[in-house]
Amino acid sequence: MPEMPEIEAHAERLEAQFGGRVLTKFVPFNFTALKTAVPAPDAAYGFALQSVGRRGKYLLLRFEPITFVIHLMQGGRLLADTKLSAKPRGGQARFVFEPIEGDDGSGDETALLLTEQGKERRAGVWCVAAGEVDATPPVDKLGPEAAGITADELAARFAEKSMRVHGFLRDQRMIAGIGRRLANEICWTARVSPFATTKSLGADGAEVVAAAIATCVEDGLAEERERDEMSSSKQRTSAVHNRTDDECPRSDEHGPDTIRAVEYSGYTVNYCPTCQTGGKILADNTTSKFLK
Ligand SMILES: [Zn+2]
């Protein structure tokens, strides 16, 4: 699933391409695409796209009266659409803009198409009154942005509730914008166990983790900004994420060790024992199930 760096860079590209375009129509292709009834999307018809922003993993298409809040989920994409076919493959919704007249008399009718591959149909669009986005679902319950969070702010979040730091990082209500890849990368960068509790990490741990968040988010964003379109998960650089059995990148520093995995149904926790757990191998869920 795309995380903060991918969504942020994508918002920048969309704004460069579609900023200032006047919306003429919003077309949902199925009844699950639009998640809200009021206000209606047509409140934005005739208005120019002011900006494309991001909150957590949501894209924000801002028009003067309303903001479209979009979640891509796992397989969703929001991309320029020149074909304008009546039934686009995986099509969830289309934003149609007033055509731009070219100098040579030709018109650019490029629209913006939300697609989602697969059958889950979880990507969607929320229509929210401008100025009320932060107080309205789906973004109202989000924690502070991961990008720019200070050590003190993080320490305060750590103190609120004790939970495993890997779970904390992925919990959008605790901190927004981080997913499976970044949670793995941040724990490794900070040299903390993914299963350390936020309570045990305390203020000192929060300082180290906040610095790791900044590093991982900045690196991811710099890499993603180099691209013309959103990266696939396989294209993203990682030290430990999806690198089970690879050598730890710090092996020159600490001697040979390999990246280990703890598997869960929806994700894998990857870590280096030498860097993160004092050499301890954490029980793999899939193995320990058989031991019960
Ligand atoms: Zn290591």
Q: What CATH number has the domain bearing residue 50?
A: 3.20.190.10
State in Å: Cα 254 to ligand 1 middle: 7
- Nearby residues of 160 by Cβ (< 8 Å), 6 or more positions away: none
Q: Residues with Cβ < 8 Å from 96, sequence gap 6 or more? A: 23, 24, 25, 26, 27, 111
User: For position 289, what pLDDT does the model report?
Assistant: 47
Residue 201 covered by a domain: yes
Separation of 277 CA from ligand 1 center, angstroms?
10
Query: Cis ω on the peptide bond leading into residue 144 (within 30° of 0)?
Result: no
Tell whether 110 and 155 lie within a shared domain.
no
Task: Examine the domain organization and report whether 189 and 216 are in the same domain.
Answer: yes
- Are residue 57 and residue 13 in the same domain, yes or no? yes
Q: How far does the centroid of ligand 1 lie from the alpha carbon of residue 276, in Å?
A: 7
Do residues 131 and 173 share a domain?
Answer: no
Distance 104 CA to ligand 1 centre (A): 59
Residue 228 sits in the same domain as residue 162? yes
Domain end marker among 135, 165, 197: 135
Query: For position 286, what pLDDT does the model report?
Result: 57
Ligand 1 midpoint to CA 190 (Å): 11
Domain boundary among 82, 106, 135: 135
| Run means of pLDDT, 10 residues per run, the chain, 292 residues | 95 96 96 94 98 97 98 90 92 94 79 88 92 96 97 97 96 97 98 97 98 98 95 92 97 97 92 97 66 40
Gap from CA of 211 to ligand 1 centroid (Å): 18
pTM beyond 0.85: the answer is yes
- Residue showing tokens 């059958």: 119
Q: Tell me, what's the pLDDT at 102? A: 77
Residue 65 lies in a domain: yes
CA distance 74 to 16: 24
Q: In angstroms, how far is CA 47 from the centroid of its own chain? A: 27
**Alpha helix (H) ranges present in the chain?**
4-18, 151-160, 165-170, 180-190, 198-225, 251-254, 273-276, 285-291
How many A from CA of 107 to the centre of ligand 1? Answer: 56
Same domain? 155 vs 131: no
Instruction: Kindly report the CATH number assigned to the domain that includes residue 185.
Output: 1.10.8.50
Cis ω before 39 (30° cut-off from 0) = yes
Q: Which of 206, 230, 58 is nearest to 136 (CA)?
A: 58
Domain that holds residue 253: 151-287
Within this chain, do residues 41 and 131 fall inside the same structural domain, yes or no? Answer: yes
CA atoms within 13 A on the CB side of 161: 10
155 and 73 inside one domain? no
pLDDT for 100 equals 86
Quick one: 273 and 173 in the same domain?
yes
CB 164, CB 197: distance < 8 Å? yes
How far, in Å, is the centroid of ligand 1 from the Cα of 240? 9
Distance in Å, CA 241 to ligand 1 centroid: 13
User: How many CB atoms sit inside 10 A of residue 118's CB?
Assistant: 12
pLDDT score recorded for residue 122: 84
